Structure 1
Amino acid sequence: MNIGELAKQSGLAASRIRFYEAEGLISQVGRQANGYRRYAPEALQALQLIQSAQQAGFTLQELKALMPAPGEHKRDELIEALERKVAQIEGMQAQLAHSKAQLLGVIEAVRAQPEGVPCVMGQKQVLGVIQAPKR
């Protein structure tokens, strides 16, 4: 299939497909006599894999390291990379939960302030809540 067909089927712009090709993420590319790219059906699968992996948080560099060459299998490396990504996501979730708790504390501190309290005093109290050590 040509790049226009592949773009339509994948939902990606042709420029994005060419970028992935230049980065070495798509290797099933041939050239016709007129120089046009010709993609094997596996290219669509590769693009779908790239899109899914990026949505899961993988960078293009991580993907490039994990993409097997034709006939190559990287099962153990793939499992390790997926487990590392899960650990990274869990770390991010913990950080987000901490940030959320801090912000909820700030909201409560602001709500607890009487209407007429000067902003400087309120700011000091809010900063105290943010900087308070975790229990």
Structure 2
Amino acid sequence: MKIGELAKRTGMAASAIRFYEARGLLKVASRQANGYRDYPEDAVAILAIISDAQQAGFTLDEIKQLLPADVSSWQHDELIGILRRKVADIEVLQTRLAQNKAHIQHLIQLIESKPEDMDCQLNASRVMATLGLHLEP
């Protein structure tokens, strides 16, 4: 199939398809006599895998390691190992994000607990002091 049809079927721009091909994620398409790329039917599935993997947080280099030379020859144990490592990476990120969220929520609480008669500059000093920081006068 030509790149226009592949783009339509996948919802990807032709430039993105060419980019994935140039990066080695998608097999280089054969060329027709007129020079047009001719993609095999499995290119639709490969591009869907690439898109899904990117949305799951895989880098292009990780995706390249994931994709076998031939879709029918996926190495089960290797694939499971890569996917488990990504789950572990996501869990570490979730922990870090939860800590960041808690820190920001604490900061919001500190700022919002400003006494009504306190001006913003004094409140900023109070918040910074609570955090163990000091503002320069």
Classify the TM-score, shorter chain: 0.7 to 0.9
Mean CA deviation greater in 115-124 or 46-55: 115-124
Partner of 2:116: 115
Q: Aligned-pair distance for 1:130?
A: 4.9
Partner of 1:13: 13
TM-score, length of structure 2 as denominator length: 0.87
Which runs of 5 or more residues in structure 2 are unaligned? Answer: none
Partner of 1:96: 97
State how far apart, in whole Å, the 2-side matches of 1:129 and 1:45 are: 55
Q: 1:87 and 2:84 equivalent?
A: no
State how far apart, in whole Å, the 2-side matches of 1:37 and 1:69 are: 19
Label 1:50 to 1:128 Cα distance change in 2 as closer, same or farther (>3 A): farther
Q: Aligned-pair distance for 1:126?
A: 2.6
State how far apart, in whole Å, the 2-side matches of 1:91 and 1:128 are: 31
TM-score, length of structure 1 as denominator length: 0.88
Mean CA deviation greater in 21-30 or 35-44: 21-30
Kindly report which structure 2 residues correspond to 1:66-77, keeping only aligned pairs within 5 A, or say none. 66-70=66-70, 72-77=73-78
Label 1:129 to 1:96 Cα distance change in 2 as closer, same or farther (>3 A): farther
Task: Indicate the percent of aligned positions where both proteins have the same amino acid.
Answer: 48
Q: Aligned-pair distance for 1:128?
A: 4.8
Q: Aligned-pair distance for 1:74?
A: 2.2
Q: Is the 8 A contact 1:66 1:74 kept in 2?
A: no
State how far apart, in whole Å, the 2-side matches of 1:106 and 1:126 are: 8
Q: Is the 8 A contact 1:10 1:44 kept in 2?
A: yes
Aligned alpha-carbon RMSD (Å): 1.9
State how far apart, in whole Å, the 1-side matches of 2:92 and 2:62 are: 18
User: What is the number of residues matched between the two proteins?
Assistant: 132
Which runs of 5 or more residues in structure 1 are unaligned? Answer: none
